[in-house]
Structure 1
Amino acid sequence: MGEIAHEPASTGSTQRLAELAGDSPPTSIPEVVKRLAEIRDYAASTSLLGENDGIAAFTKLYHIITRRVGDMVDSGEFKSSPFLVRLDIEFAERFFQALRRYAADIHTTPGVWRVLFDNRSDPKVPPVNFAVLGVNAHINYDLAHALIAAWRHVEPDGDAPDSEQYHDYRLINRVFEIEMDGLREELDSIFSAGPDGAPWDVGANWLADLVVTFTRDLAWDEARRVWQAGASPEACRASERRLDAMATFLGEGVLRLPLPF
């Protein structure tokens, strides 16, 4: 990531995180929750930054959101639970795969995930920025192709807005909004007064909104576009390259974001 990259974590730590990510995709939401908890705890316990470590900060938020989704599945809040569960599994597998790829060969890791992984131990980056970096990677890069992977198991059930799958997909936005409100409050406290008293709250709100509803809608549209075109390996790779370039650009911006301390 050029001049902004911090020294990567130790090889041993990286390898262990890859092991905790599992050597195969998860098969249930409880398994996803378990792996996320282990990754969060290990990253925090082996980093000089503790819970403020980049991977720990993002995985903490991701673990909370996934537990909420699991509770909603158990309580029957979704109209198309088989689709929603498959999407959650495929979504998590993208993050786990990124950790495995980073351990095996850093240079094969998607650029947007490298923004987080390369800089996870930089004490100059606040944990809230790390959390936003991870959400940016997961939604702006991973989500569209997690949808495509889910549809390979559970066929799309029609076009939005009448689709039950789309209804459930939008329902997940509420989960993100609830948890991102916490990030919004932290960002607001950081940006409430910039240098010379300049207001920063607009930037805080923009960041929070950017990585929730707006980009989740874009991910759905991209997934539908690629799926309707046949979702060939070539089409998927081209889409991933484009999404990675966009999300990496956004991630580097979040990492460089000037903070008033």
Structure 2
Amino acid sequence: MGEIAREPATTGSTQRLAELAGDSPPTSIPEVVKRLAEIRDYAASTSLLGENDGIAAFSKLYHIITSRVGDMVESGEFSSSPFLVQLDIEFAERYFQALRRYAADIHTAPGVWRVLFDNRSDPKVPPVNFAVLGVNAHINFDLAHALVATWRHIGPDGDVAEREQFHDYRLVNEVFETEMDGLREELDSLFSLGPDGAPWDVGANWLADLVVTFTRDLAWDEAKRVWKAGASPEVCKASERRLDAMATFLSEGVLRLPLPF
């Protein structure tokens, strides 16, 4: 059999990526890992940018992180594994849902995900930037409401930092730290000097650092605020609108940053 024909990433492959995201939420971490691998591979095999395609680049990073979290669950490293498993599933479903919504009608997809999806085939955007765009969307927009969705299945166990859920939530940060250290190094080289050899302005460095630096604690705080307010559809939608506006602003800033080559 011949190779899959590569095409502009904004045309025929979009619907297939939505199909690979599944027509219903995943039910296990291995299923999440499988879907992410299929999305990563198909995006790379059909895009003109190959592995540098925006969806392929982010899905690769996300696949690595989720695989490591799954290994930690299997080895019993979490105190509240059912909570972590449900959170991982709800978190991934947010990404899969964004892919489905974008394929069905791009205007119904969250603005922050549209920044990545709309520009995924732009050869002027390095894959490290695509990874940052995806991380920004997933943490600054998706994570708080993935937590809320998780608590609908497994209620929160309290506000104290020593509680099992928050302890395990913070433990996942170690996985992020391992993978994001490499991303930070690439960003440091990317943002250290401008085209004229002069340092980038403070705003560019601040924006890059804000997107990559962990905001997981802020997501937890927002989820708790929404939960205490009743987590009604109206409360959730208002929160999502605000988070989407903030995260979209950050993504557009990263996308607009001039590159030193």
Deviations 1:148-188 (A, max 9, x none): 00000111011131211001111111111110111111112
Tell me the distance in 1 between the aligned counterparts of 2:23 and 2:142. 19
1:123 maps to which residue? 123
Residue-by-residue CA offset, 1:90-144 (whole Å, 9 max, x unaligned): 0000000000000101100000000000000000001000000000000000000
Kindly, what percent of the aligned residue pairs are identical? 85
Identify if the C-alpha distance between structure 1 residues 147 and 242 changes in structure 2 by more than 3 Å, giving closer, same or farther: same
Tell me how large the CA RMSD over aligned residues is: 1.6
Q: CA deviation at 1:208?
A: 4.6
SS of residue paired to 1:195? coil
Q: Which residue of 2 aligns with 1:111?
A: 111
1:175-254 alignment, distance < 5 Å: 175-200=175-200, 207-208=208-209, 210-213=211-214, 215-254=215-254
Q: Which residue of 2 aligns with 1:5?
A: none
For the residue of structure 2 that corresponds to 1:32, the secondary structure is helix
Task: Judge conservation of contact 2:17–2:42 (CA < 8 Å) in 1.
Answer: yes
Matching residue of 2:101: 101
Q: How does 1:14-163 map to 2 (within 5 A)?
A: 14-163=14-163
Amino acid paired to 1:43: A
CA distance in structure 2 between the partners assigned to 1:50 and 1:201 by the alignment: 32
| 1:173/1:212 contact within 8 Å kept | no
Contact 2:112 2:247 in 1 (8 A): yes
Q: TM-score if structure 1 supplies the norm length?
A: 0.93
Question: Letter of the aligned partner of 1:18 in structure 2?
Answer: A
Find the aligned partners of 1:207 and 1:63 in 2 and give their Cα distance. 22
Q: What is the one-letter code of the residue matched to 2:38?
A: E
The runs of 5 or more residues in structure 1 that have no matched partner are: 1-7
Equivalent residues of 2:141, 2:247 under 8 A apart: yes
CA gap 1:47/1:198 in 2 versus in 1, 3 angstroms: same
Q: Deviations over 1:205-241 (max 9, x none)?
A: 863564342x111110000000011100110000000
- Structure 2: which amino acid aligns with 1:211? V
Aligned residue pair count? 253
Q: Are the structure 2 counterparts of residues 160 and 256 from structure 1 closer, same or farther at C-alpha, using a change threshold of 3 Å?
A: farther
Which letter does structure 1 place at the counterpart of 2:19? E
What is the TM-score with the length of structure 2 in the denominator? 0.93
Deviation for aligned residue 1:198 = 2.2
